[in-house]
Structure 1
Amino acid sequence: MSVAFLLTTLVMVVTPGTGVVYTIAAGLSHGRRASVVAALGCTLGVVPHLVATITGLAAVLHTSAVAYETVKYLGVGYLLYMAWATLRDKEALAVEGADEPRPAARVIASGVLINVLNPKLTMFFVAFLPQFVPAGEPDSLGMMLRLSAVFMGLTFVVFAAYGMCAAAMRNRVLARPRVMTGIRRVFAACFVGLSARLAVA
Structure 2
Amino acid sequence: MQSPETLLMFFTASILLALAPGPDNLFVLTQSAQRGKLAGIAVTFGLCTGIIVHTMGVALGVAALFQASALAFNLLKYIGAGYLLYLAYLSFRTIGGTRAEQKTEKIPIRKLYRRGILMNVTNPKVSIFFLAFLPQFTDPTIGPLFPQFLLLGFLFIVTTILVFGGISLLAGSIGDYFRKSNRAENILNRMAGTVFVILAIKLALATRQ
Tell me the matched-pair count: 196
User: Cα gap change, 1:87/1:59 in structure 2, threshold over 3 Å: closer, same or farther?
Assistant: same
- Indicate yes or no: 2:192 matched with 1:187: yes
Gaps of 5+ in 2: none
Distance 1:82 1:16 in 2: 20
State the distance in 2 between where 1:56 and 1:45 align: 16
Q: Name the SS of the counterpart of 2:64 in structure 1.
A: helix
What is the CA-CA distance between 1:89 and the residue it aligns to? Answer: 5.1
Instruction: Name segments (4+ residues, structure 1) moved above 6 Å.
Output: none
TM (norm. structure 2) is: 0.85
Tell me the equivalent position of 1:31. Answer: 36
| Residue pair 1:53, 1:122 contacting (<8 A) in 2 also | yes
Once residues 176 and 16 of structure 2 are traced to their aligned partners in structure 1, the CA distance between those partners, rounded to angstroms, is 30
- Structure 1 CA distance for aligned equivalents of residues 193 and 50 of structure 2: 21
Partner Cα separation in structure 2 for residue 121 and residue 56 of structure 1: 14
Q: Which of 76, 79, 100 matches 2:81?
A: 76
Q: Which moved more, 1:2-11 or 1:73-82?
A: 2-11
Answering whether residue 52 of structure 2 is matched by residue 63 of structure 1, we say no
Distance 2:106 2:90 in 1: 18
CA distance in 2, matches of 1:185, 1:123: 32
Determine the C-alpha separation between the residues in 2 that align with 1:58 and 1:142: 17
Of 165, 170, 173 in structure 1, the residue corresponding to residue 175 of structure 2 is 170
Question: What TM-score, normalized to structure 1?
Answer: 0.88
CA contact (8 A) 1:133 1:144 kept: yes
For residue 19 of structure 1, the aligned residue among 24, 33, 41 is 24
Is 1:8 the counterpart of 2:5? The answer is no
Aligned partners of 2:87 and 2:23: how far apart in 1? 10
CA shift, 1:6, in A, is 2.0
Contact 1:27/1:34, CA 8 A, preserved across alignment = yes
Alignment match of 1:150 (pick from 145, 149, 155): 155
* Unaligned segments of structure 1, at least 5 residues: none
RMSD of aligned Cα (Å): 2.1
Deviation at 1:161, TM superposition (A): 0.8
Task: Answer whether contact 2:178 2:185 (CA < 8 A) is retained.
Answer: yes
